[in-house]
Structure 1
Amino acid sequence: MAERWKPNVTVAAVIEQDGRFLLVEEHTSDGLMLNSPAGHLDPGETPAEGCARETLEETAHHFTPTALIGVYLARSPRKTHGENVTYLRFAFAGMLGAFEPDRELDEGIVRTVWMTVDEVRGSVARHRSPLLLECIEDYLAGQRYPLDLIHTDSSVATLQQR
């Protein structure tokens, strides 16, 4: 029997203030890249909870998701490993909260940067995910869905207890 295909589930925050978007610059196997605050969904958490956690870990800012921008599926070739990885991304808009200046950022994160949409558009070659710009463009187009569009069964919470 063939191995079952399973995309990597990720969550991402699209955060805009004063016409600029909060991104992270991070070391990857493909070099120094830009991305939205994003990461893998952990066992036992909802996509919105995962997005809030990843944003805090990567930017030292609290984040409260208020709307789903979209659900995206993309394959991303890895230059150094010669393999393709498929990602299923849940992108959220929301409110940026308190900043923890003494908080250490996730391993690999060099810094946070605020960029205009034109700067993001001009830096496509440095995007870690092919979905970075697409999520921002959908956000700018006003695409928003209620958070309750994503249903998380109570059985998911039991994963945290294991």
Structure 2
Amino acid sequence: MRWKPNVTVAAIIEREGRFLLVEEHTPEGLRLNNPAGHLEPGESPEQAVVREALEETAHAFTPTGLVGVYLSRFQRPASGEDITYLRLAFAGELGAAEPGRPLDDGIVRTVWMTPDEVRASVDRHRSPLVLRCIEDHLAGQRYPLGLLVTDASVISPRA
């Protein structure tokens, strides 16, 4: 069997010195995460992060740069499940809210936190990448979106 990491995308959203996080139910309890989720078939990473940010925050999101590409491993304590994630983290602009739009299943609420509040809550983070992506963002790490290329065959597969 061939090993395949789970590809995820994350929106790193900063406004007036605070970062937008989501509080979500996980098998490990209530955790904090960047708005994030899995890349789905037929979409580019940029499309995925726009979709995930909307689903988890009820706000539009426009990616403006790639903060980084991260590989991490998570071993679920209760079941022993061993998961490797390949995360593409995007900086961007938060747009308008969609009033009345429900948050994705499992998302309890969105919360704005200062970097110090994020650092002080690491025991509640869904993964070590929550803080790492924010620290890289704060350090000014940005790569052009053109670094990521999604071939047309992904969006419109040949018959």
Name the TM-score, length of structure 1 as normaliser: 0.95
Partner of 1:70: 68
The list of structure 1 runs, each at least 4 consecutive aligned residues, that deviate by more than 3 angstroms after superposition, is none
**Aligned partner of 1:26: which letter?**
E
- Residue 60 (structure 1) aligned with residue 36 (structure 2): no
Paired residues of 1:12 and 1:89 also in contact (CA < 8 A): yes
Work out the CA distance in 1 between the residues paired with 2:20 and 2:8.
Answer: 18
**Alpha-carbon offset, residue 5 of structure 1:** 0.3
Partner of 2:34: 36
Work out the CA distance in 2 between the residues paired with 1:101 and 1:33.
Answer: 25
Among all aligned residue pairs of Structure 1 and Structure 2, give the percentage whose two residues are the same amino acid.
70
**Alpha-carbon offset, residue 158 of structure 1:** 2.2
- Residue 80 (structure 1) aligned with residue 83 (structure 2): no
Work out the CA distance in 1 between the residues paired with 2:101 and 2:117.
Answer: 27
**Aligned partner of 2:29: which letter?**
G
**Aligned partner of 1:53: which letter?**
R
Work out the CA distance in 1 between the residues paired with 2:99 and 2:122.
Answer: 29
The count of corresponding residues between Structure 1 and Structure 2 is: 159
Paired residues of 1:69 and 1:93 also in contact (CA < 8 A): yes
**Aligned partner of 1:75: which letter?**
R
Partner of 2:119: 121
Partner of 2:156: 158
**Alpha-carbon offset, residue 80 of structure 1:** 2.1
Q: Please point out which of 96, 104, 107 is paired with 1:106.
A: 104
Unaligned runs of 5+ in 2: none
Query: Cα deviations across residues 109-160 of structure 1 (Å, max 9, x unaligned)?
Result: 000000000000011111002101000000000000000100100000125x
**Alpha-carbon offset, residue 57 of structure 1:** 0.1
SS at match of 1:152: coil
Paired residues of 1:25 and 1:35 also in contact (CA < 8 A): yes
Work out the CA distance in 2 between the residues paired with 1:101 and 1:79.
Answer: 38
SS at match of 1:128: coil
Alignment RMSD, CA only?
Answer: 1.2
Partner of 1:133: 131
Partner of 1:12: 10
**Alpha-carbon offset, residue 79 of structure 1:** 1.8
Partner of 1:49: 47
Work out the CA distance in 2 between the residues paired with 1:94 and 1:9.
Answer: 19
